[in-house]
Amino acid sequence: MRDPAALTELVDLRLEPAEGPAAASPGAHPTLILKDSPMPAHLLSIPAVAAALDVDRRTVYRFIAAGELPVVDLRTGAGRSRVRVPVAGLEEFITSRSVTAPQPRR
Question: Considering the chain, what percentage of its residues have pLDDT values greater than 90?
Answer: 38
Residue 104 lies in a domain: no
Residue 101 lies in a domain: no
Domain that holds residue 20: 4-96
Residue 23 lies in a domain: yes
Residue 104 pLDDT > 60, yes or no? yes
What are the Cα distances from residue 4, in Å, to 52, 90, 91, 101?
Answer: 11, 18, 21, 31
Residue 75 lies in a domain: yes
* Residue 55 pLDDT: 95
Residue 8 lies in a domain: yes
- Condensed to tens digits (0 to 9), the pLDDT of residues 47-101 reads 999 999 999 999 999 999 999 999 998 877 777 778 899 999 999 999 999 888 8
Residue 25 lies in a domain: yes
Q: Identify whether the C-beta of residue 25 lies closer than 8 Å to the C-beta of residue 5.
A: no
Candidates 6, 74, 5, 80; CA nearest to 44 is: 74
* Residue 34 pLDDT: 55
* Residue 81 pLDDT: 74
Residue 71 lies in a domain: yes
Residue 3 pLDDT > 70, yes or no? no
Residue 102 lies in a domain: no
Number of domains in the chain: 1
